[in-house]
């Protein structure tokens, strides 16, 4: 594993992830991760007793993984406050609000139900630092005696007040809740964590809502629904005559929207609507918005017309947050729907994003379509190529040639990003330019070069 080589090997950009029941999500490794986390917390957190917030999504494997993590933590003398099914940002909120030593969310986010993951949060509710991830990995590799023990499942019962605390927090974000009762919504819960939280929230806010995909059975999380498949939500929004539609992913840290006309609006549209609203009211700090390498060039140009800069980071909400904190910027996010309103929460929270967009609609008395009418996204395509090894892509001559051909044709009126996924064995090729035909041609050429050079098959 070579845990101390400089970068975590077991932890990706979003925790430990894999197929449930297989390494690294087999029972023995999960128990050891829980125990190693407990040892690290004992070393670094002075407060006693040590307590960790634990939550999960709706996959069939989430309950036993949670119980195994809890057993590992308890074997290290760490108490567990178990929320049961809750969103990832809900665990982040509870961790910070109640002064827990850390938080653990069992979820593979937008992945299919066979996958799962363990996301570990610091006491601040943010993702664990790489240095502590490396320390956990070092324990797994170099100190087996310290974390040895029989992999068991702890008998844990959910504490309902934890989800209630999170709901109360969300309600408190709307000081004049009655102003939202005029809206009609369509909400796709992706048969995931949002199913536990969102219907209760919207009932308490008195918002007329058509709820989709809120009957999880352990196998249907993200299945042809949610933020990766928002077309059903968008069509329902148009048919229902709703003011707004929203689709969450499995752990509800992402949100993709629809206008009342059924036009899908990804995270770039959210950033544009929120940034221009904040700027008009003197609420946008840092004079900029933080996006990623995948943020559409159209957003950068549209924000520029309002004298708002765009700062780009590597893909991953943790990198977005790092840049926001470093530059004093209070708004950032990704096209995937991870949006961070740092004045409210340091976690990307799809539900907070929904509430903020509703606030913008209420105060401007405009539709979402009207708010984003000046944003023209460039045609963009993403090709995924499944890999069995991760050779540096820049070292492959065929790939460099294909990228150079694209750049020669479009100049500064287009972008290409070639990178590996942080959570799956994929190489991702993103191409955008003003003409769809150019985008299609060069995305295929670059993906084909990767496939040919590495002997892979395109997914």
Q: What is 147-189 written as a DSSP string?
A: T------------HHHHHHHHHHHHHT-TTGGGGTT-EEEEE-
Show which of 217, 246, 261 is a domain's final residue: 261
In a domain, 201, yes or no: yes
Would you call 337 helix, strand, or coil by DSSP? coil
Residue pair 281/273 in contact by the 8 Å Cβ criterion: no
Would you call 211 helix, strand, or coil by DSSP? strand
Q: What is the pLDDT of residue 458?
A: 47
Same domain, 338 and 424: no
Residue 364, Cβ density class (10 Å: 0-12 exposed, 13-18 middle, ≥19 buried): middle
Q: What is the pLDDT of residue 436?
A: 95
Flag whether pLDDT at 457 surpasses 60.
Answer: no
Q: What is the mean pLDDT of residues 428-439?
A: 96
pLDDT confidence band for 13 (50 / 70 / 90): confident
Name which of 65, 244, 39 is nearest 148 in CA terms.
Answer: 39
Name which of 207, 172, 189, 204 is nearest 362 in CA terms.
Answer: 207
Output the CA angle 295-297-298, nearest 5 degrees.
110
The rounded distance, in Å, linking the Cα atoms of 432 and 440 is 9
Same domain, 145 and 36: yes
In a domain, 45, yes or no: yes
Output the CA angle 36-37-39, nearest 5 degrees.
65
Same domain, 405 and 333: no
Same domain, 119 and 243: no
Q: What is the mean pLDDT of residues 403-428?
A: 91
Task: Please give the mean pLDDT across all residues of the chain.
Answer: 94
pLDDT confidence band for 1 (50 / 70 / 90): very low
Flag whether pLDDT at 409 surpasses 80.
Answer: yes
Same domain, 112 and 187: no
Helices (H) and strands (E) in the chain, counts: 14, 17
Q: What is the pLDDT of residue 54?
A: 98
Percent of the chain at pLDDT exceeding 90: 86
Q: What is the pLDDT of residue 261?
A: 97
**Which residue among 61, 62, 109, 123 is the active-site one?**
109
In a domain, 2, yes or no: no
In a domain, 315, yes or no: yes
Least confident of 66-75, 213-222, 390-399, 420-429: 420-429
Same domain, 214 and 309: no
Distance of alpha carbon 237 from the chain centroid: 23
Q: What is the pLDDT of residue 459?
A: 44
Characterize the bridge pairing of strands 184-188 and 208-212: parallel
Q: Residue 281: give its domain's CATH number.
A: 3.40.120.10
Range of the domain at 335: 266-347
Show which of 143, 162, 181 is a domain's final residue: 162
Flag whether pLDDT at 196 surpasses 70.
Answer: yes
Show which of 295, 328, 347 is a domain's final residue: 347
Same domain, 144 and 31: yes
Flag whether pLDDT at 370 surpasses 70.
Answer: yes
Residue with tokens 């993709």: 256
The rounded distance, in Å, linking the Cα atoms of 321 and 342 is 8
What pLDDT, in 10s, does the model give residues 78-109? 999 999 999 999 999 999 999 999 999 999 99
The rounded distance, in Å, linking the Cα atoms of 270 and 258 is 11
* DSSP one-letter string for 25-74: SSHHHHHHHHHHHHHHHHHH---SS-EEEEEE-S-TTHHHHHHHHHHHHH
pLDDT confidence band for 178 (50 / 70 / 90): low
What pLDDT, in 10s, does the model give residues 208-264? 999 999 999 999 999 999 999 999 999 999 999 999 999 999 999 999 999 999 999
Same domain, 47 and 181: no
The rounded distance, in Å, linking the Cα atoms of 343 and 66 is 31
Residue with tokens 């890999």: 387
Same domain, 238 and 334: no
Flag whether pLDDT at 141 surpasses 80.
Answer: yes
Q: What is the pLDDT of residue 2?
A: 47
Same domain, 74 and 201: no
In a domain, 213, yes or no: yes
Same domain, 206 and 289: no
Q: Residue 416: give its domain's CATH number.
A: 3.30.310.50
Would the CA dihedral through 132, 137, 138, 144 be positive or negative?
A: positive
Task: State yes or no: is 367 an active-site residue.
Answer: no
Q: What is the pLDDT of residue 57?
A: 98
414 vs 146, residue with greater confidence = 414
In a domain, 363, yes or no: no
Same domain, 287 and 245: no
The rounded distance, in Å, linking the Cα atoms of 104 and 34 is 9
Q: Is the pTM of this model over 0.75?
A: yes
Least confident of 3-12, 21-30, 140-149: 3-12
In a domain, 352, yes or no: no
In a domain, 6, yes or no: no
Q: What is the mean pLDDT of residues 169-178?
A: 84
Q: What is the pLDDT of residue 454?
A: 80
The rounded distance, in Å, linking the Cα atoms of 407 and 411 is 5
Percent of the chain at pLDDT exceeding 70: 97
Flag whether pLDDT at 444 surpasses 80.
Answer: yes
Q: What is the mean pLDDT of residues 349-378?
A: 97
Q: Residue 56: beta bridge partners?
A: 85, 106
Give how many domains the chain has, as a whole number.
Answer: 4
What pLDDT, in 10s, does the model give residues 47-82? 899 999 999 999 999 999 999 999 999 999 999 999
The rounded distance, in Å, linking the Cα atoms of 400 and 397 is 5
Residue pair 67/188 in contact by the 8 Å Cβ criterion: no
Q: What is the pLDDT of residue 142?
A: 79
């Amino acid at each position: 594993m070579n845990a101390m080589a400089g970068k975590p090997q077991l932890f990706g950009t979003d925790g430990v992830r894999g197929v449930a029941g297989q390494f690294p999500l087999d029972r023995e490794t999960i128990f050891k991760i829980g125990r190693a986390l407990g040892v690290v917390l004992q070393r670094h957190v002075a407060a006693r007793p040590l307590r960790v917030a634990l939550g999960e999504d709706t996959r069939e494997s989430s309950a036993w993984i949670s119980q195994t993590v809890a057993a590992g933590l308890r074997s290290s003398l760490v108490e567990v406050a178990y929320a049961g099914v809750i969103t990832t940002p809900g665990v982040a909120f509870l961790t910070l609000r109640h002064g827990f030593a850390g938080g653990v969310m069992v979820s593979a986010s937008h992945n299919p139900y066979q996958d799962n993951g363990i996301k570990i949060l610091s006491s601040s509710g943010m993702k664990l630092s790489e240095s502590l991830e490396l320390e956990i990995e070092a324990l797994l590799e170099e100190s087996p005696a310290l974390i040895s023990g029989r992999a068991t499942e702890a008998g844990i019962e959910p504490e309902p007040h934890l989800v209630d605390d999170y709901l109360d927090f969300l309600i408190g974000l709307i000081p004049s809740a009655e102003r939202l009762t005029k809206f009609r919504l369509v909400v796709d819960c992706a048969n995931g964590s949002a199913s536990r939280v969102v219907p209760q929230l919207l009932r308490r806010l008195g918002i007329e809502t058509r709820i989709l995909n809120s009957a999880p059975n352990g196998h249907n999380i993200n299945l042809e629904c949610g933020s990766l498949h928002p077309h059903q939500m968008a069509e329902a929004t148009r048919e229902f005559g709703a003011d707004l539609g929203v689709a969450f992913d499995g752990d509800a840290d992402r949100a993709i929207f629809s206008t009342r006309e059924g036009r899908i609006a990804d995270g770039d549209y959210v950033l544009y609507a929120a940034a221009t609203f904040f700027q008009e009211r003197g609420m946008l700090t840092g004079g900029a918005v933080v996006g990623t390498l995948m943020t559409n060039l159209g957003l950068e140009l549209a924000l520029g017309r309002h004298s708002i800069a765009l700062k780009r980071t590597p893909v991953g909400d943790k990198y977005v947050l790092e840049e926001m904190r470093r530059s004093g910027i209070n708004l950032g996010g990704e096209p995937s729907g991870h949006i961070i309103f740092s004045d409210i929460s340091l976690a990307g929270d799809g539900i907070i994003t929904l509430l903020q967009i509703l606030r913008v609609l209420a105060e401007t008395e405009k539709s979402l379509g009207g708010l984003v009418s000046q944003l023209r996204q460039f045609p963009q395509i993403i090709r995924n190529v499944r890999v069995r090894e991760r050779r540096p892509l820049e070292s492959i001559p065929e790939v460099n040639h294909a990228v150079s051909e694209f750049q020669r044709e479009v100049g500064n009126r287009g972008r290409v990003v070639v990178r590996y996924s942080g959570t799956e064995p994929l190489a991702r090729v993103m191409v955008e330019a003003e003409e769809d035909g150019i985008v299609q041609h060069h995305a295929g050429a670059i993906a084909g070069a990767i496939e040919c050079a590495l002997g892979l098959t395109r997914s």
